[in-house]
């Protein structure tokens, strides 16, 4: 992610900067049984809800598990594991999306096996291809 590990050049040419990063062990405190698809959907939903509570727009880079919709619909309790670390990162661009702000920002949530930084190379590639203009929001200083 750039020379300083803080800057990212998106595939569309926009530069973004990492401003905030939180991470934690996904299954820390799980006392009973193995993780399931149902549990994973609940975990991801709660992470996204908490991340958006500040009013920022949030995008999820889906975990390899994929969180199939069937898990939401018919309660599949098949064993399933997410990568061990959940990451929430807030990125900023010095340029607004619509021109109605001073800058733009977006919170990105993903999962990887090791602590960030560095960001998992596969996740980094997906971050580079984010639809910033369609996902980020303009902010005013």
pTM for the model stands at 0.86
Q: DSSP letters along 43-62, please?
A: HHHHHHHHHHTTS--EEE--
Is the peptide bond between 117 and the residue preceding it cis, with omega within 30 degrees of 0? yes
Quick: pLDDT tens for 46-91: 999 999 998 889 999 988 655 555 444 445 677 888 999 999 999 9
Cα gap 23→51, rounded to integer Å: 12
Q: What is the pLDDT of residue 15?
A: 96
């Amino acid at each position: 992610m750039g020379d300083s590990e803080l800057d990212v050049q998106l595939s569309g040419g926009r530069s973004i900067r990492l401003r905030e990063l939180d991470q934690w062990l996904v299954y820390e405190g799980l006392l009973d049984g193995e993780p399931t698809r149902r549990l994973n959907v609940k975990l991801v939903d709660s992470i996204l809800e908490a991340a958006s509570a500040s009013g920022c727009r949030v995008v999820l880079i889906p975990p390899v598990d994929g969180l199939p919709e069937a898990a939401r619909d018919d309660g599949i309790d098949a064993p399933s594991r997410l990568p061990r670390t959940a990451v929430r990162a807030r990125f900023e661009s010095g340029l607004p999306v619509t021109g109605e702000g001073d800058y733009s920002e977006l919170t990105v949530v993903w999962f990887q096996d090791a602590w960030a930084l560095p960001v998992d190379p596969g996740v980094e590639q997906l971050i580079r291809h984010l639809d910033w203009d369609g996902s980020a929001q303009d902010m005013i200083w």
